[in-house]
Amino acid sequence: VQRQTQEAVQKRTFTKWINSHLAKHKPPLVVADLFEDIKDGIKLLALLEVLSGQKLPCEQGRQLKRIHWVSNVGTALKFLESRRVSVIKLVNINATDIVDGRPSIVLGLIWTIILYFQIEELTSNLPAIRSLSSSTSSVDSKASSEMASPPMKRKVVTKFQGSAKRALLRWVQHVASRHLAIEVKDFGLSWRSGVAFHSVIHAIRPDLVDMELVQKRTNRENLEEAFSLAENELGIPRLLDPEDVDVDKPDEKSIMTYIAQFLKHYPDLHDSETDGQQEEVFNSDFPKESVLHREDRRMLRELKTWLDQLERELLRAQGAEGSLPDKYQAFKGFRVQFEMKKKQMEGLLQPVHREGRLSSDQALVKQACERVSARLLDWHIHLDKSLPGVLGVIGAWLHRGEMALFEEISIQQAHEETANVIHRKLEQHRMEGTLC
């Protein structure tokens, strides 16, 4: 019964998480029943496209058969395995299991995607955290065996971070205890009262939370208030309901999925407004060159806000009614704005870590920039294809030619080889044009 309850909670949480990202897809998509809607692989591939910013091949149409479903899911699995990140371990996950809608396999796959694209990606930029005593964390031993990095990489990785799970827990422990002396031991019962959720919100926006009042309310009241505040004031999707958490054994993965969203809103962990506690919590040998100046962090956050707003406005403009000339003019306006901002971004997106990694603020800006760039390209292609008569055919042909130049051409290739590849592709594309 307990397992069925946790499975139901995971299904609801993961579905909401997926839909929060599919809302950014063009056109927006919605998953109603996770186990059914994922079977044909179309929405799974759409989710990966939104998360990665990459275009993936997909079999579509009304007459799709099981073989096409298996092909789509297989494409998704191969894409995940190609990421070459330690957390992408698709053990015992086969395309046919997803097509059959097996609940435990589907949930396992979605958890792997969440773990990599949200939790691992965001926590990978946290500085290393000193090992806490075993009494403060009930997940350390299990996390180290479940999610530890491969032995050959462990020495490098653990200098800057623990496993994603431990890093996320210790981040929460840091923000919860820093000003409020609230103890968080795990991603289970520590969250049942709702106090821990409020402590995280308080760390981001102290003005939103009255901790004295929080201590007096019931579990359900605290949970409802925390989820509402996070959604309305911080823009964090409501993935959980009070009844999901106020139970004897809250689902760990669902809580981790929800809490990881707060990392995007938390001030940089290197802010100097500490009272000496940071030296106790974070590894003192964290490389100094990885610290961004306060002004750079402020500018990066402003850029992220601007890019998110531009993406929303771009989507609205793209879906608005109007003549083709008006739409071209609107597109041109957005592209000019974006290109001007990109010049400002270049200097701010120089890697700050020794091994070339970006800080968390830089990574978020880079992702937002790539999303807007992809939206603009997609809109441009759509507009050119919409031109009347032969102009539309030529527009589509030109875009295919541009895309062909970027396929399979590595920057690392020798210049002569690259030139030969480009020449072959141009000749092939020219011949396609003459056949049309």
Categorize the per-residue pLDDT at 415 as very low, low, confident or very high, splitting at 50, 70 and 90. low
Bridge partners of 129, per DSSP, are: 282
Instruction: Report how far Cα 185 is from the mean position of its chain's Cα atoms.
Output: 26
Cis status, amide bond into 151, omega within 30 of 0: no
Q: Span 114-141, mean pLDDT?
A: 55
Alpha carbon distances (Å) from 94 to 35, 44, 75, 77: 15, 14, 11, 8
Would you say residue 136 has pLDDT above 70? no
Assign 137 a pLDDT band (cuts: 50, 70, 90): very low
Phi, psi (degrees; rounded to nearest 5) at 65 = -110, 175
Round the CA-based radius of gyration of the chain to a whole number and report it: 24
Residue 226 CB-density burial (10 A; 0-12 exposed, 13-18 middle, 19+ buried): buried
77-93 core/surface letters (b: 16 or more CB in 10 A; e: else): bebbeeeebbbbeeeeb
Helical pair 42-52 and 2-22, crossing angle rounded to 10 deg: 60
Measured between alpha carbons, how far is residue 340 from residues 239, 334, 335 in Å? 36, 10, 9
Please classify residue 248 by burial: count the beta carbons closer than 10 Å to its beta carbon, then call 0-12 exposed, 13-18 middle and 19+ buried.
Answer: exposed
Contact assessment for residue 234 and residue 204, using Cβ atoms and an 8 Å cutoff: yes
The whole-number pLDDT of residue 268 equals 52
Assess contact for 148 and 154: CB atoms under 8 A: yes
Dihedral sign, Cα of residue 188, residue 193, residue 194, residue 195: negative
pLDDT at position 407 is 46
Structural domains in the chain, CATH included, are 1-125 (1.10.418.10), 161-267 (1.10.418.10), 292-433 (no CATH)
Task: Summarize pLDDT for 138-193 with one digit per residue, the tens.
Answer: 333 343 333 333 333 333 233 223 377 888 888 888 888 766 678 899 999 999 99
Judged against a pLDDT cut of 70, whether residue 215 lies above it is answered with yes
> Does residue 41 surpass a pLDDT of 90?
yes
Q: Judge whether residue 286 has pLDDT over 60.
A: no
pLDDT of 417 reads 55
Contact 262, 118 (CB under 8 A): no
Q: For the chain, give the percent of residues with pLDDT over 90.
A: 30
pLDDT at 405 over 70: no
Q: Which residue has the higher pLDDT, 419 or 220?
A: 220
Q: What's the pLDDT score for residue 38?
A: 94
Burial classification of residue 308, based on how many CB atoms lie within 10 Å of its CB (0-12 exposed, 13-18 middle, 19 or more buried): middle
Quote the Cα angle for 276-122-267, to 5°: 40
Q: How far apart are CA 148 and CA 127, in angstroms?
A: 17
Q: Can you read off the two tokens belonging to residue 170?
A: 């210790």
Q: Per-residue pLDDT tens for 221-275?
A: 999 999 999 998 888 999 999 999 999 999 999 999 999 999 877 765 444 334 4
Report how far apart, in Å, the C-alpha atoms of 69 and of each of 42, 60, 127, 305 are.
Answer: 8, 9, 41, 38
Residue 132 pLDDT > 60, yes or no? no
pLDDT tens-digit map of 313-370: 888 888 888 888 888 888 888 888 888 888 778 777 877 655 566 777 787 888 888 8
pLDDT at 96 over 60: yes
Per-residue CA distances from 151 to 147, 154, 156, 158, 198 (Å): 12, 5, 10, 11, 37
The upper half-sphere exposure of residue 158, i.e. CA atoms within 13 Å in the direction of its Cβ, equals 13
Length of the chain, please?
Answer: 436
**pLDDT of residue 45 exceeding 70:** yes
Amino acid at 27: P
Per DSSP, the residues of 326-376 read: HHHHHHHHHHHHHHHHHHHHHHHTS--STTSPPPHHHHHHHHHHHHHHHHH
Compute the distance between CA of residue 36 and CA of residue 33 in angstroms, rounded to an integer.
5
The whole-number pLDDT of residue 246 equals 94
Residue 282: strand pairing partners = 129
> Regarding predicted confidence, which is higher, 141 or 296?
296
Residue 283 has pLDDT above 50, yes or no: no
